[in-house]
Amino acid sequence: MGPAPGFTQTSTSPPLERGSVISPVLTIDSERLFRESAFGRRVAAEAEARGTELSTENRQIEADLEAEELALTEQRATLTPEEFRDLADAFDAKVQDTRTAQTAKGRAINEELERAREVFLAAAAPVLEKLMRDAGAAVILERRSVFVSAAAIEITEDAIALLDETLGNGGD
């Protein structure tokens, strides 16, 4: 048995004219709201650029470490076992420190993306409140938390449009 007539689990109907939804309950896809807004697209592009830079840096570091390892291996025949062990231990420590630093840079990119998401949601709150008031709604629920709903109460498209008008890409 499918959903009741007039209800759907997906928003396949065309977007409504802003302000045309009148309902005490609205739904929104907050992930899509961020991802498809001008603000979210800018943040994602910046994070992707930083990730690409980090990948390039990682490849260069890897090549440098491989060259250093090869040079150390070539020196082995001319060194005492103790001298070689000291150099090998120092190299291993350098590799571990480098990995730790590069991993921290990757985490920092993800943390910055998460902070930008929080800034976006704080800036979006007044816009979402306006949409809520315009619709006569008392609440906006996360769409993924709703089992079944009428497509007419899904306001993500309206929210993205109004946020783009209000916030732009957030970088200006």
Which residues touch 46 (CB under 8 Å, ≥6 apart)?
none
Among 32, 43, 28, residue whose Cα is nearest residue 168: 43
Which domains are present in the chain? Answer: 25-167 (3.30.910)
In the 3-class helix/strand/coil scheme, how is 83-122 assigned residue by residue? HHHHHHHHHHHHHHHHHHHHHHHHHHHHHHHHHHHHHHHH
> pLDDT tens for residues 85-116?
999 999 999 999 999 999 999 999 999 999 99
Mean pLDDT in the chain?
87
Q: What is the mean pLDDT of residues 22-31?
A: 89
> What's this model's pTM, rounded to 2 decimal places?
0.72
Beta-bridge mates of residue 154: 27
* CA separation for the pair 144, 160 (Å, rounded): 17
User: Whole-angstrom Cα distance, residue 99 to residue 92?
Assistant: 11
Q: Measure the CA–CA gap between 45 and 154, rounded to whole angstroms.
A: 27
